[in-house]
Amino acid sequence: MFPSIFLFFSQYKPINPEWFAIVIFDRKSNDVAIPTRYQEIAQLRLQRIYLDEISQQEQFDIGIGILKLVVETEDKAGELARNLIERTKQEVKNNVNQKQLRELIETIIIYKFPKLSYEEIENMLNLQEIKETRVYQDAKAEGIQKGKREGIEEGMLRQKLAMIPLLQGLGLTIEQIAQRLEISEKLVRESIK
Protein backbone atom coordinates (compact mmCIF):
# COMPACT_ATOMS: atom_id res chain seq x y z
CA MET A 1 0.00 0.00 0.00
CA PHE A 2 2.86 2.43 0.69
CA PRO A 3 4.23 2.11 -2.85
CA SER A 4 0.77 3.20 -4.07
CA ILE A 5 0.77 6.15 -1.68
CA PHE A 6 4.25 7.23 -2.78
CA LEU A 7 3.31 6.79 -6.44
CA PHE A 8 0.33 9.08 -5.83
CA PHE A 9 2.67 11.72 -4.35
CA SER A 10 5.00 11.37 -7.31
CA GLN A 11 2.23 11.72 -9.89
CA TYR A 12 0.07 14.42 -8.30
CA LYS A 13 2.59 16.34 -6.20
CA PRO A 14 0.19 17.57 -3.52
CA ILE A 15 1.10 21.02 -2.21
CA ASN A 16 0.39 20.20 1.44
CA PRO A 17 3.30 18.27 2.98
CA GLU A 18 1.04 16.99 5.76
CA TRP A 19 -0.74 13.88 4.60
CA PHE A 20 -2.88 11.14 6.03
CA ALA A 21 -3.95 7.97 4.22
CA ILE A 22 -7.07 5.92 4.82
CA VAL A 23 -7.08 2.32 3.64
CA ILE A 24 -10.43 0.55 3.49
CA PHE A 25 -10.65 -3.24 3.68
CA ASP A 26 -13.85 -5.23 3.36
CA ARG A 27 -12.80 -7.33 6.37
CA LYS A 28 -9.93 -7.32 8.79
CA SER A 29 -8.74 -10.73 7.56
CA ASN A 30 -7.83 -9.13 4.20
CA ASP A 31 -5.49 -6.60 5.80
CA VAL A 32 -1.84 -6.95 4.86
CA ALA A 33 1.12 -6.78 7.19
CA ILE A 34 3.03 -3.51 7.08
CA PRO A 35 6.75 -3.96 6.48
CA THR A 36 8.93 -2.97 9.43
CA ARG A 37 10.48 -0.02 7.58
CA TYR A 38 7.00 1.57 7.26
CA GLN A 39 5.71 0.85 10.80
CA GLU A 40 6.50 4.31 12.17
CA ILE A 41 4.92 6.08 9.18
CA ALA A 42 1.86 3.85 9.48
CA GLN A 43 1.34 4.77 13.12
CA LEU A 44 1.40 8.49 12.33
CA ARG A 45 -0.19 8.74 8.92
CA LEU A 46 -2.31 5.69 8.19
CA GLN A 47 -5.82 4.82 9.27
CA ARG A 48 -7.29 1.41 8.45
CA ILE A 49 -11.02 0.93 8.20
CA TYR A 50 -12.61 -2.52 8.15
CA LEU A 51 -16.10 -2.48 6.68
CA ASP A 52 -17.12 -5.64 8.53
CA GLU A 53 -16.36 -3.91 11.84
CA ILE A 54 -18.23 -0.76 10.84
CA SER A 55 -21.37 -2.83 10.38
CA GLN A 56 -21.25 -3.62 14.11
CA GLN A 57 -21.14 0.04 15.21
CA GLU A 58 -24.36 1.68 16.37
CA GLN A 59 -23.37 5.38 16.07
CA PHE A 60 -21.69 6.69 12.91
CA ASP A 61 -21.66 9.74 10.64
CA ILE A 62 -23.27 9.76 7.20
CA GLY A 63 -20.02 9.01 5.34
CA ILE A 64 -19.31 5.97 7.49
CA GLY A 65 -22.98 5.00 7.15
CA ILE A 66 -22.62 4.97 3.36
CA LEU A 67 -19.58 2.70 3.69
CA LYS A 68 -21.57 0.55 6.09
CA LEU A 69 -24.39 0.33 3.53
CA VAL A 70 -22.00 -1.30 1.05
CA VAL A 71 -21.40 -4.29 3.36
CA GLU A 72 -24.75 -4.40 5.14
CA THR A 73 -26.83 -7.55 4.73
CA GLU A 74 -29.76 -7.31 2.35
CA ASP A 75 -32.33 -7.64 5.13
CA LYS A 76 -30.92 -4.58 6.93
CA ALA A 77 -29.82 -2.49 3.93
CA GLY A 78 -33.24 -0.95 3.22
CA GLU A 79 -33.66 0.31 6.77
CA LEU A 80 -30.11 1.69 6.86
CA ALA A 81 -30.58 3.42 3.49
CA ARG A 82 -33.85 5.03 4.66
CA ASN A 83 -32.09 6.17 7.83
CA LEU A 84 -29.19 7.65 5.83
CA ILE A 85 -31.52 9.47 3.43
CA GLU A 86 -33.45 10.96 6.36
CA ARG A 87 -30.24 11.98 8.13
CA THR A 88 -28.97 13.53 4.89
CA LYS A 89 -32.12 15.67 4.70
CA GLN A 90 -31.64 16.81 8.29
CA GLU A 91 -27.86 17.17 8.56
CA VAL A 92 -26.72 18.29 5.08
CA LYS A 93 -27.81 21.86 4.41
CA ASN A 94 -26.40 22.22 0.89
CA ASN A 95 -29.09 21.00 -1.54
CA VAL A 96 -26.56 19.91 -4.16
CA ASN A 97 -24.60 17.81 -1.66
CA GLN A 98 -27.84 16.45 -0.24
CA LYS A 99 -28.98 15.36 -3.71
CA GLN A 100 -25.60 13.79 -4.51
CA LEU A 101 -25.59 11.81 -1.27
CA ARG A 102 -29.16 10.62 -1.84
CA GLU A 103 -28.27 9.53 -5.37
CA LEU A 104 -25.19 7.68 -4.07
CA ILE A 105 -27.33 5.85 -1.50
CA GLU A 106 -29.90 4.99 -4.18
CA THR A 107 -27.14 3.74 -6.50
CA ILE A 108 -25.70 1.49 -3.80
CA ILE A 109 -29.16 0.02 -3.19
CA ILE A 110 -29.75 -0.45 -6.93
CA TYR A 111 -26.50 -2.44 -7.22
CA LYS A 112 -27.23 -4.33 -4.00
CA PHE A 113 -30.69 -5.38 -5.25
CA PRO A 114 -30.31 -5.75 -9.04
CA LYS A 115 -33.52 -7.78 -9.39
CA LEU A 116 -35.78 -5.13 -7.86
CA SER A 117 -37.73 -2.72 -10.06
CA TYR A 118 -37.37 1.03 -9.62
CA GLU A 119 -40.79 1.14 -7.95
CA GLU A 120 -39.76 -1.53 -5.43
CA ILE A 121 -36.59 0.41 -4.61
CA GLU A 122 -38.61 3.61 -4.40
CA ASN A 123 -40.95 1.94 -1.89
CA MET A 124 -38.04 0.43 0.05
CA LEU A 125 -36.44 3.85 0.45
CA ASN A 126 -39.70 5.80 0.94
CA LEU A 127 -38.93 8.01 -2.05
CA GLN A 128 -42.54 8.81 -2.98
CA GLU A 129 -41.90 12.54 -2.59
CA ILE A 130 -39.46 12.34 -5.51
CA LYS A 131 -42.51 12.08 -7.79
CA GLU A 132 -43.42 15.63 -6.84
CA THR A 133 -40.13 17.15 -8.02
CA ARG A 134 -39.94 19.02 -11.29
CA VAL A 135 -37.12 16.78 -12.55
CA TYR A 136 -39.26 13.68 -12.04
CA GLN A 137 -42.31 15.33 -13.65
CA ASP A 138 -40.24 16.46 -16.67
CA ALA A 139 -38.72 12.99 -17.07
CA LYS A 140 -42.14 11.38 -16.79
CA ALA A 141 -43.63 13.76 -19.38
CA GLU A 142 -40.71 13.07 -21.71
CA GLY A 143 -41.23 9.33 -21.26
CA ILE A 144 -44.93 9.66 -22.04
CA GLN A 145 -44.19 11.66 -25.20
CA LYS A 146 -41.59 9.13 -26.30
CA GLY A 147 -44.06 6.31 -25.67
CA LYS A 148 -46.72 8.08 -27.73
CA ARG A 149 -44.29 8.62 -30.62
CA GLU A 150 -43.23 4.97 -30.53
CA GLY A 151 -46.88 3.88 -30.37
CA ILE A 152 -47.79 6.02 -33.38
CA GLU A 153 -44.80 4.70 -35.34
CA GLU A 154 -45.72 1.11 -34.48
CA GLY A 155 -49.34 1.72 -35.47
CA MET A 156 -48.27 3.19 -38.81
CA LEU A 157 -45.99 0.22 -39.44
CA ARG A 158 -48.82 -2.23 -38.69
CA GLN A 159 -51.06 -0.36 -41.10
CA LYS A 160 -48.39 -0.55 -43.81
CA LEU A 161 -47.87 -4.26 -43.18
CA ALA A 162 -51.63 -4.82 -43.46
CA MET A 163 -51.57 -3.18 -46.90
CA ILE A 164 -48.92 -5.53 -48.29
CA PRO A 165 -51.33 -8.35 -49.30
CA LEU A 166 -53.62 -5.80 -50.98
CA LEU A 167 -50.75 -4.28 -52.99
CA GLN A 168 -49.42 -7.72 -53.82
CA GLY A 169 -52.91 -8.67 -55.05
CA LEU A 170 -52.83 -5.67 -57.37
CA GLY A 171 -49.69 -7.13 -58.95
CA LEU A 172 -46.99 -4.93 -57.43
CA THR A 173 -43.55 -6.47 -56.92
CA ILE A 174 -41.79 -6.63 -53.55
CA GLU A 175 -39.57 -3.73 -54.60
CA GLN A 176 -42.55 -1.60 -55.66
CA ILE A 177 -44.45 -2.37 -52.45
CA ALA A 178 -41.42 -1.44 -50.33
CA GLN A 179 -40.99 1.78 -52.29
CA ARG A 180 -44.67 2.80 -52.03
CA LEU A 181 -44.94 2.00 -48.32
CA GLU A 182 -41.49 3.43 -47.55
CA ILE A 183 -40.33 0.29 -45.75
CA SER A 184 -37.50 -2.16 -46.41
CA GLU A 185 -37.81 -4.99 -48.91
CA LYS A 186 -36.77 -7.37 -46.14
CA LEU A 187 -39.78 -6.33 -44.08
CA VAL A 188 -42.07 -6.85 -47.08
CA ARG A 189 -40.62 -10.35 -47.67
CA GLU A 190 -41.03 -11.28 -43.99
CA SER A 191 -44.63 -10.09 -44.03
CA ILE A 192 -45.46 -12.11 -47.13
CA LYS A 193 -44.18 -15.36 -45.58
> Tens-digit pLDDT profile for the chain (193 aa)?
788 888 888 898 888 888 888 888 888 898 888 899 989 988 998 888 887 787 666 677 888 888 888 888 888 888 889 899 889 888 988 888 888 888 888 888 888 888 888 778 878 887 766 666 666 677 788 889 999 999 999 999 999 999 999 998 899 999 999 999 999 999 999 988 8
* Residues of each domain in the chain carrying CATH 1.10.10: 136-192
Identify whether the C-beta of residue 104 lies closer than 8 Å to the C-beta of residue 66.
Answer: yes
pLDDT of residue 131: 65
pLDDT of residue 129: 60
Q: Is the pTM of this model over 0.75?
A: no
pLDDT of residue 136: 67
CATH topology of domain 136-192: Arc Repressor Mutant, subunit A (1.10.10)
pLDDT of residue 98: 86
The DSSP annotation for 94-116 comes to: -HHHHHHHHHHHHHHHHHH-TTS
**Within 13 Å, how many C-alpha atoms sit on residue 77's CB side?**
19
Identify whether the C-beta of residue 136 lies closer than 8 Å to the C-beta of residue 130.
Answer: yes
